[in-house]
Amino acid sequence: MTKREKKAFWRDFYRYIAQSSGNWGGGLMVEGKSEMVLLGHVDHILEHQGHELGLGGYRLLIMPVDAQGKSNTTKIAEAFVGEGVQFCVVVDHDAKKEYDQLEEVAFRWGEETKDLEGLFGVVKIEGSLRLYMPPRNEVEALLRDPHSKIQPIIQFLREKGAISLAFPGFSTALPIVVDNSDDGGEAAPILIDDD
């Protein structure tokens, strides 16, 4: 395959990703597999414990997309824009260039956290290809702590509509009901104290 053919292949593939995501209402692009695991855990917890968090019926409503590295995020984003499909992006702290290009639709991990592994206190071993997959109970503990470092990304996902109220029939485990707070009927924060 020539360089030109490869470029055309990837361009078509990214368009396919955007079109497929459009069938789910949009795409949520992340850098790698560990973030995909996190999103799966968050979606499961919302379905089965969402009522305890003031979010009965909330789910992850747009398609997670593994960009397989920060350098691909802007290329795939171009396909989403070209297809007119809603999307948002989550990148590691070192992806400054990519974040600057996608700032309006992007979340970038902070200086302290750096990336998903940093969120869970795991230090990446230099030269290692090992991926840290956070267990669901750790994710749930962070979701229940209103001061945890996961809060900014969850808030970002809510603001972008990636996490929202599911349509009737989407969630089989919970009724589509949102617990309201006491401040004028706004949806309660995603995470609440257990006190």
What pLDDT does 172 receive? Answer: 52
* H-assigned helices in 106-170: 116-119, 136-144, 151-159
Cα four-point dihedral sign 184, 151, 89, 39: negative
Domain-wise residue ranges, the chain: 3-165
pTM: 0.79
Q: Residue 170 contacts by C-beta under 8 Å, 6 or more apart in sequence?
A: 59, 61, 176
Alpha-carbon distance of 195 to 193, in angstroms, equals 5
Q: Residue 41 contacts by C-beta under 8 Å, 6 or more apart in sequence?
A: 134, 136, 139, 140
Rounded mean pLDDT for each run of 10 residues along the chain, 195 residues in total = 90 94 91 88 90 86 91 94 96 94 94 85 71 84 90 92 82 44 37 33
